[in-house]
Structure 1
Amino acid sequence: MKKPFYLIFLFLLAAVACGPTEKQPIVEDSMPPETQIIETPMPDSVLRHVVLFGFKQTSSPEDIQGVIDAFKALPSQISEIKGFEWGTNSSPEGLNQGLTHAFTLTFYSDADRDAYLPHPAHKQFGALLGPHLEKVTVLDYWTKP
């Protein structure tokens, strides 16, 4: 009686081991071909683009909020941005050196990041930011999601 159970277990184990090894796009088949949604699976590693800003004393809270809102709009304008988050410094250590706002953008490749940098929407954002920027630090790194 145990023999069929072991055979089924071995068959399932072999099926899992021999399954697809490459990630394929996920297609929602229940929709007509012209409206199908194709999702690109997340890669094994992602590129994080970390931007830290310190604003000028002369910039008003409304000016700073305008910069934040413009930065938050970039993912809807630049398809290469795969993730976005932001926040303000809350560290009690006092080591932020005048940098108060952190933004993290996620890219799936160096090429995506390289397309973002000269993108017209990014350039337009830079023009809005420029008059209010006191300090900036940018750091990119690869990580596992």
Structure 2
Amino acid sequence: MSAQIIHVVLVRWAATAAPDVVARFDAAARVVRETIPGVLEVAHGPSVSVENLEQGYDYALHVRFADAAARDAYLPHPSHVPLAELIVANAETFVVFDLAVGDAS
């Protein structure tokens, strides 16, 4: 069985971000979840941490993939492109981190 991949994106929205950016992000994330094969879970939203260690990041996206091949297919997928473009157009900065979890044997 292949390891699942957790894809995490942390976003700091720009002061000039569109006022409806979160609503549009929600809609785009829903399309990703519903249309891309191998996407097992999508979660996103503002931090609810009590530690206050966000370092200015105010929004996160978490996508769990069945395996690395599903992640690789997601990146150029037509349903993912609008989500990525929304981040690039409205973020002051963002970071992406992928983590393999589970049994890779």
Shorter-chain TM range is: 0.7 to 0.9
Shift of 1:118: 1.0
> Which is richer in strand?
2
Q: What is aligned with 1:111?
A: 69
Q: Equivalent residue for 1:97? A: 55
Describe the shift of the 1:122–1:44 C-alpha distance in structure 2 as closer, same or farther (beyond 3 A).
Answer: closer
Question: Cα 1:135–1:106, aligned 2, differ >3 Å: closer, same or farther?
Answer: same
Structure number with larger C-alpha Rg = 1
CA distance in 2, matches of 1:128, 1:89: 19
**Given the two structures, how large is their TM-score scaled by the length of structure 1?**
0.61
CA RMSD of aligned residues (A): 2.1
Q: Of Structure 1 and Structure 2, which has the larger fraction of its residues in helix? A: 1
Tell me, in whole angstroms, the C-alpha distance in 1 between the residues paired with 2:30 and 2:12: 17
Unaligned runs of at least 5 residues, structure 2 = none
3-state SS in 1 of match to 2:16: coil
Deviations 1:42-95 (A, max 9, x none): x57421111111111122442222123212321112112111112311223332
Which letter maps to 1:100? D
Ranked by relative contact order (alpha carbons within 8 Å, sequence separation 6 or more), the top structure is 2
